[in-house]
Structure 1
Amino acid sequence: MSLLDSVARQARSLLGGDTSPDSPEARERRLVARIAAGEQRALEDLYRAYHPRLQRFLGRMTHQPGLVDEALNDTFLVVWHRADSYNGLSKVSTWIFGIAYRKGLKALQRFDEPQADDAQDTRTEPGDGPEQQLASSQLQRDLQRALAELSPEHRAVVDLTYFHGLGYREIADIADCPVGTVKTRMFYARRRLRALLPGGKEDWL
């Protein structure tokens, strides 16, 4: 690969990820283009690809199981009706998570938040022994209770960072706020979580 090709690939990565024809990002962009052209099958394919990730994200963000399906369906209604507004300046995932973030906040405005939610996914790996499963389940319950004490905006930053592996720049695009705001939210979220988690379990932060 020439130096020019290398620079071009890095530029494409900065703008929206690897967009070589066979990359996952390129395939997702083609799906969005097909959705903009009115192809329902393309919407179904994108829905299947993103449903598990968005379901977990919205579940942890809202802590209201009854709102998750509503917000998720509202997200894909926007994708269906506004696919032609996707400009390719960010990754498809950033665009979709940004829609989901706003729909989650809007859904929360219509309902009171619960104090805690024990209905989150606490599955463990099949290979874990009984002691490991018990410890893992207890840790997840402790985390869910601690996260329930945060605001939706703070929960979203924690979730996107630790469970989706996104950087502050991409989270800022999703939340439509400055990077500095994301860093501030993470600082206060981590400080609050450290105070809420039982001794020793705050090390995950």
Structure 2
Amino acid sequence: MVLDDKDLICRAQQGDTAAMALLFKKHYSFLYKYLIKVTMDPMLAEDTAQDTIVRCMENISRYNGTSSFTSWMITIATRLYIDGTRKKKREKAWLVQEQQQTARAMRWQVEYRGAEWNDLLQGLSELTEEHRVAILLKHYYGYGYDEIGEMLGIPAGTVKSRVAYGIRQLRKGDE
């Protein structure tokens, strides 16, 4: 006997874990394909799909049938994705602020010791970590792009672009 979504949902809401598993197995592929298109990142799509399934399992009793089950899942998935994106933006802003405070503290320590905090150090402190590391390894320590790529576990071309971008940012700061 093949159960339709309505029967599976009803059984899942009554605590039938087999029906719940079958219901989510039936709709997982649709959910994942949707999230691939939304996130453009297979790993993030997979994580979000799993989080969505957990959230749906926790809230299956709240599903009232006014929309299709897949619409309900997609609504939850979309909200989880948007909330995650907002959280990452807030975390990034916090990290930038933290980096700026650390740079100010470093500058104070350098000047307190009688050394000079020059414009280059200021400019480096304003770069992202990935750009700052690439520039320092290339231009301060003299490593080649291939060596830096090996050290950081990234292609040499990525190192070149990070160095070039970082230098452009430093030059903008000079203007």
Q: Which has the higher contact order (CA 8 A, sep 6+)?
A: 1
- Do both share a fold (TM > 0.5)? no
From the CA coordinates, give the structure whose radius of gyration is larger. 2
Higher helix share: 2
- TM bucket, shorter chain: 0.3 to 0.5
TM-score (norm: length of structure 2): 0.45
